[in-house]
Structure 1
């Protein structure tokens, strides 16, 4: 199954609730952000604190259109924390930071509407 960034794409087929539970989406706070000039598409290297149980993880995120690198520190984001790590150039991305496409397909981060404890799981 391949995710699409097309907002006009039809909904994915039905899944069982247990399939949803298999995807571990957690909230964390960005503690470091730096440009990732080696990436094929414009991206940042993020370090995200998911609290004591999960710890700090790194992620490559293509969020440069709507998010300035310096403004990301301290922001909370949602990420899938149970995918296998993915090698992106010389960088190992350990979690998938989540976002939605805007009208032009540029990524807008998924963020809680108010502060929540790091490591909280989406339900």
Structure 2
């Protein structure tokens, strides 16, 4: 499967609703954001609190173009929490933080327009 970031690309193939339900997308609050100078592409290391059922998980996010480290703690973000962990250099990324490309392809984080409880699942 090829994923494109081109806003002019057609919609992906039709899937069954059960396939969507298999992807566990949750809301969490960034509690720690750190530099990640070892990453091949500019990125930050994030520690995100997804509430008591899931806990705190780590993520590498290529969000350095639009966000400064000091503005990230306290920000709610959306992430896929049921992909296998992925080794990125010496860092183990446990969740995939979600965003959309801006006009230049730089990541803009996907987050709610108002505060919601950590751990809530997207539906």
TM over 0.5: yes
Deviations 1:79-121 (Å, cap 9, x if unpaired)?
A: 0000000000000000000000000000000000000000000
- Asked if 1:68 is matched to 2:68, the reply is yes
Gaps of 5+ in 2: none
Cα distance in 2 for residues equivalent to 1:10 and 1:40: 30
SS for the counterpart of 2:27 is strand
Instruction: Give the Cα separation in 2 of the matches to 1:91 and 1:2.
Output: 25
Q: Alpha-carbon deviation of 1:2?
A: 2.6
TM-score, with structure 2 as normaliser: 0.98
Residue aligning to 1:109: 109
Instruction: Calculate the TM-score normalised by the size of structure 1.
Output: 0.98
Structure 1 alignment gaps of length 5 or more? none
The 2-side partners of 1:4 and 1:37 are apart by 26
Between Structure 1 and Structure 2, how many residues are aligned? 123
Aligned to 2:93: 93
Once residues 66 and 31 of structure 1 are traced to their aligned partners in structure 2, the CA distance between those partners, rounded to angstroms, is: 18
SS at match of 1:31: strand
